[in-house]
Amino acid sequence: MTPRKKIIHSFVLILSLCIGFIAVASMAESDVSAQKKGRKGAKSSSRRSRTTARNQPSTRRIAPVVARKSYDEIMGRSGTVMQGRMLTPGELVELEGESLGETRIRADIRYLSDDLLEGRGTGSRGGMLAARYIASQFEGLGLEPAGTDRSYLQHVQLVGTKTDPSTQLVARASSGTSEARFRFGEDFVASTEMEEPEVNVIGDLVFVGYGISAPEYNWDDYKGLDVRGKILLMMVNDPPSSAAEPKLFGGAALTYYGRWTYKFEEAARRGAGGIILIHSPESAGYGWNVVKNSWGAETFTLASSGKPPLRIKGWVTDDTARAIVKLSGLDLNSLRLSAQTREFRPQSLNANIDTKLKVTTRKITSPNVAGLLRGSDPNLMNEFVVVSAHWDHLGIRPDQPGDNIYNGAVDNATGVAGLLAVARWLTEQEKRPKRSVIFLSPTAEEQGLLGAEYYTRNPYAAMSKTVANLNLDSMNVLGVTTDITPIGAERSTLRMFIDAVARDSSITVSPDPRPEQGLFYRSDHLPFAKAGVPAINLNPGTHFVGHSDTWAAEQFKEFNETRYHQPSDEYSPNWDLRGLLQQARLASLIVSRIANAPDRPRWNPGDEFGKLGN
């Protein structure tokens, strides 16, 4: 970087920092003012949804600011200490720099999760504000545009579909002697891939177990049955392993066959008329409210997905599934038990679905945001490391009483703030990395990883030139850890880069604490893996300084039950963002090692994605 560029770069960074300070101070002052007026945390009417009555009392309360216990335990009153020793003057300077970085991260999160952005819904004004904000940050850092027409935005064409909440799911016994009707939102949620205002869904119901066809496991739930036009009822997850086959479908770990995305894809490939998945909190790892909030509003698909359309894509509660099966005089528990063996055969339920989905559809454009830090090595600069973090969340629900803004502070304003922190760190280095680095913030992750999938189909450079993807989703707001959890690292030689950074940083690498939930298949690194690119999701560690070994699991449970995909996922001034800063720094070091390595990462032999990339 030339001296002139350095001066300009420094000026832009200082100006951005000042804006961040002003934004934080302004919002803090607004909060205090609101409390003084006795509003008890009610949000300013100017920032409320236009669909919410101005004079409607708010149920939201601002959490009182409390001392961060872990911070007090680490720093102490008697002096500045870390891990039982006094910090050196050099470490104090570094700590001051970290404090500055934490302030920037806090300002980014607070803005991106503010009510002004209305939950950053795909295709919404608030979503576009978020995308423009990220693009402006990329420009301020001196990144090159890597989007459409030499801009920072890559325009993704999507089709939005919203089902009328008055829609009922009607199931009838083939004999015509009985029927059952179910309520949208309470008993089922459903969408369609047909671009029609009314979609007639009529078809025989067939229970197909787990809906899996996996030759490598000698498993086929379809057994050659022609399912064209039929409505398939199936379970989520993989068949369970046994003492005889402890590694069947990954053992305790979920495989891609267990994800709902695979089940939709496989049913569509076979020409099914539709698919209804049976939800249970035990199988999914979250409650029905998450399914309802995710699928009960407008859903999106890629405009040119190239996949056969399904007339209905739905989820039902466990009780609803039992009632449907009972129409045939069958028992759901017995069907489930029979589906756990290779001998299972699809079971006609002697019942049918006869429902009219009333939907509204629209075609929209929603942007991925992409910036490029060009590599310094003439031989490696045309290879790329992609760092990603989606900007979208679930938006606003006009017909929902009370708090109807899904702010998505943890999921995923924190990830975007982390992405920007990595970009700042890499652009501030004296020497650029040898390979080029693309910073990508996809749209529509909450809709099925659509923005990342679109990017892998329409990349900045051929996917064969993309050597790795590091994804950031729902980062650490709870404090410093002594470990890190890179989801998917065991699949490729990326683990060697991570281990080296961990050793240099005096932390350990922990395995996925919840392998049964299939985290590797649930964020934007998956489309990169499916395109043959070694990929990880860099999750926080599980051992927090100043807390017991069970504390992380307790915090995850609390978040999953009370805030995940709910309006309560909001920014808190109590967050200890040193953990996020630590995570972002580790991500920066990992990306730097990958970008400077002579050899590109490779999938490990036998990995399910290895045949696509190596």
Could you tell me which of 319, 285, 298 has the C-alpha nearest to residue 188? Answer: 319
Say what the pLDDT of residue 81 is. Answer: 38
What is the per-residue pLDDT across 190-200, written as a single tens digit (0 to 9) for each? 999 998 899 99
Question: For the domain 69-151+374-613, what is the CATH superfamily, name and number?
Answer: Zn peptidases (3.40.630.10)
In the numeric block, the tokens 């004999």 are attached to 175
- The pLDDT of residue 613: 57
Give the residues across from 302 on adjacent strands.
158
Residue 233 burial by CB count (10 A; 0-12/13-18/19+): exposed, middle or buried? buried
pLDDT at 272: 97
What local confidence, expressed as pLDDT, does residue 105 receive? 96
| CB-neighbour burial class of residue 611 (10 A; exposed 0-12, middle 13-18, buried 19+) | exposed
Contact 123, 158 (CB under 8 A): yes
Q: Please list the ranges in the chain whose pLDDT falls under 50.
A: 5, 7-8, 12-13, 17, 19-87, 89, 91-93, 96
Specify the pLDDT at position 101: 85
The contacts of residue 558 (CB under 8 Å, 6+ apart) are none
Which residues are CB-neighbours of 475 under 8 A, at least 6 positions away?
410, 414, 415, 417, 418, 540, 579, 580, 583, 584
Burial class (CB in 10 A: 0-12, 13-18, 19+), 84: exposed
At residue 582, the pLDDT reads: 94
Three-state SS string over 315-359 comes to EECHHHHHHHHHCCCCCHHHHHHHCCCCCCCCEEEEEEEEEEEEE
The whole-number pLDDT of residue 532 equals 96
How many CB atoms lie under 10 A from the CB of residue 534? 31
DSSP symbol at 51? T
Model confidence pLDDT, tens digit, residues 474-523? 999 999 999 999 999 999 999 999 999 999 999 999 999 999 888 999 99
d(CA 256, CA 279): 17
CA-wise closest residue to 107 among 10, 11, 22, 15: 22
Residue given tokens 């920032």 in the structure block: 47
Radius of gyration of the chain (CA): 25
CA 280 to chain centre: 20
Pairing assessment for the beta strands 405-406 and 347-373 based on DSSP bridges: unpaired
- Helix (H) / strand (E) containing 27: helix 3-36
- Give me the residue label for tokens 């006795």: 38
What confidence score (pLDDT) does residue 608 get? 86
Q: Give dist(CA 440, CA 60) in Å, integer.
A: 33
Q: Which pLDDT belongs to residue 243? A: 85
Look up the CATH number of domain 161-362: 3.50.30.30
Q: Where are the domains of the chain?
A: 69-151+374-613, 161-362
